[in-house]
Amino acid sequence: MLLSSPQDLASGVTLTDVKQLLGINLPCWLAEFGRLLSKALDPISWGLRMEALKCMMLMVTGFSKLCAPHIGPALTAAWQRATAAAPYDGLHANDGGADEILHLVLETLTAALTAAPEAAVQWEPLISEPTLRVWVANVSDPLLSVDSRELLEALAAIPACLPSLQARMLPTLCGILAAPHQHSPILVDGAVELVTLALAPSPPDAAQHIHAAASPAILQLAMGHDDAEVLRSATAYLRTLLQVGGSAALGWPGVPDCLAALLAAVQRLLSPELEDRACSLVGALILELLRHAGPQMAPLLPGLLSALAYKLIAAEDSAMVQSLLCVLAQLLHADQQQLLDCLAGIQLSDGCSALEACMRKWCERQIEVRTAYDIRLTTAALAALLTSSHPALDSVQVKGKRLDTESGVRTRARARAQAEQWSSVPLRVRIVMLLTDAFIEATTQDEASEDEWEEAGGSEEEEQDSEQAGGPSPALGSLRSTMRRFAEAYQEDGGFDAEDLVLSGVDAREAARRAADPIQAIDIPAIVCEAFQRGCT
């Protein structure tokens, strides 16, 4: 097939033809075909541009190194035409496919940037500002807003593009944040997310510049805005700031007495009046503060724990409860005696101590904790509580078991007429029940893995032969083997665990920190057995 014009392309080439041509893998042919497709982006017809863009997408994903240098400049020029001063100015007014063209250009540019990042430095000055304009104009559009954000994310992921991208984005984004009540909450929320996107991969000097430009406005949002998504994004930004800058960020210019400002934001986010979604990441922010400003926060711990206890009592959302339980668990690992003394000494408005309130909620919601790391963290903390000799724990009573399970199906009418009935048990009894459940779940999951392992290779007879040859007793050997294999399996990142990480607000930087944390290596069956043995002595 001999092609010499875009019209020839429109009449003679289909997507199937492109797929067949990609199988030839001739550099000269691919380069010439890429140039011809680029000409088809000129305003000839909506259908031709759509077909050319789809062909380009196939070429970029199939042969990125060969095609990107030819396709990238043409896409960049098309993008500039499509995003000129007036929205979609480069497209004909009677062209009903303007949004579809923008979508395909965005999608293909993102694929080209991802496939050929070395060429992206030349394109960034031409595409970043138009992309940001499209995002601002279409922030409520479920398709174009996501497409434009993904293109900006692709640029931010290329280190050579990051400084210039930040310089172009910050003035627009900080302008939105400086006057939040003049813009829709969805635009303000998106602006905070994009600033966080620019901050996360930054070296300290660039992060310090972003902090000076954006942190004052974002702290004001955390202190005064009412939208749940805006507050959640502001919390994520503040956590990222501490992740990137560490303790040094507390002294960067731009926010006088940054630690006090962060603690004020935390106090507001712990307000029981705020909905759970708004402050579901506050626990992660508190943990970052404890890591980087622990000594400075020690005198303020009673006030912080009092606010945390009130919020924990009011919280219903699982992610919110989990984030606060992880704060308590981390503090228990750091200094058990100090935490228990502090909680026992705080009297809440209902007359009970903060220790009683926190332990009741913890025992009630421990089963909902997600992610392998958080399960290890909280389970190990419960095991430490079981063996603690602190006298305040002896008087704490928590929910035990349901007493009204024999009365048949619990209808709404029956629920309105009579509340659920629960037994009341000592805290240590309930902890034993929770640790037993954790041990059973761990070993049960491992038995399923063992069945799969036996099918792949190995047999019970071989294991028995090795045990009879002078090894440990079958029961002890089986228990040790189960514990070891469970620990290995539990550290693997399965699909379910990836979903849990997202729901729990664990970003890439936090995931890397967790991987190096000794808590990640905790063997749950082993610590449960040890706690039971110590409790029996």
Work out the pLDDT band at 82, boundaries 50, 70, 90: low
pLDDT of residue 367: 93
Distance CA 316, CA 327 (A): 17
pLDDT of residue 459: 46
Q: Which two tokens stand for residue 2?
A: 């001999």
pLDDT in tens, 194-229: 999 999 999 999 999 999 999 999 999 999 999 999
Distance CA 144, CA 102 (A): 8
Q: How far is CA 303 from CA 4, 267, 295, in A?
A: 76, 9, 15
Q: What residues pair up with 422 in beta bridges, in sequence order? A: 402
Half-sphere exposure of 244 (CA within 13 A, CB side): 24
Work out the pLDDT band at 28, boundaries 50, 70, 90: low
pLDDT in tens, 175-198: 999 999 999 999 999 999 999 999
Residue at token pair 């419960």: 382
pLDDT of residue 12: 44
Mean of pLDDT over the chain: 79
CB 390 within 8 A of CB 340: yes
Distance CA 208, CA 245 (A): 8
Distance CA 185, CA 389 (A): 50
Distance CA 112, CA 119 (A): 9
Per the model's pLDDT, the better-predicted residue between 346 and 415 turns out to be 346
pLDDT in tens, 406-441: 666 666 666 666 666 778 899 999 999 999 999 998
**DSSP string covering 83-144:** TSSSTTTTS-TT-TTHHHHHHHHHHHHHHHHHH-GGGHHHHHHHHHHHHHHHHHHTTT-TTH
CB 326 within 8 A of CB 278: no
CB 126 within 8 A of CB 164: no
Per the document, the length of the chain is 537
Distance CA 354, CA 376 (A): 24
pLDDT in tens, 133-160: 999 999 999 899 999 999 999 999 999 9
Half-sphere exposure of 274 (CA within 13 A, CB side): 31
Rounded to 10 degrees, the C-alpha dihedral 221/222/226/229 comes to: 90
Closest to 229 measured CA to CA, from 181, 280, 272, 179: 280
pLDDT in tens, 454-492: 554 444 444 444 444 444 444 344 444 434 433 443 444
Distance CA 105, CA 110 (A): 8
Residue 386 has pLDDT above 90, yes or no: yes
Residues with Cβ within 8 Å of 224's Cβ and at least 6 positions away in sequence, in order, are none
Work out the pLDDT band at 334, boundaries 50, 70, 90: very high
Q: Strand 397-402 and strand 422-426: pairing?
A: antiparallel
Q: How far is CA 467 from CA 8, 78, 401, 463, 479, in A?
A: 76, 71, 41, 6, 13
Q: How far is CA 13 from the centre of its chain?
A: 43
Q: What separation, in Å, do the N-terminal and C-terminal C-alpha atoms of the chain show? A: 86
- State the greatest distance between any 2 C-alpha atoms of the chain, in Å, as a whole number: 89
| Other residues' Cβ atoms within 10 Å of the Cβ of residue 436 | 12
Residue 275 has pLDDT above 90, yes or no: yes
Closest to 230 measured CA to CA, from 248, 242, 218: 218
pLDDT in tens, 30-80: 555 555 555 555 554 555 555 566 666 655 555 455 555 555 565 565 555
Work out the pLDDT band at 506, boundaries 50, 70, 90: confident
Q: Which two tokens stand for residue 121?
A: 């430095």
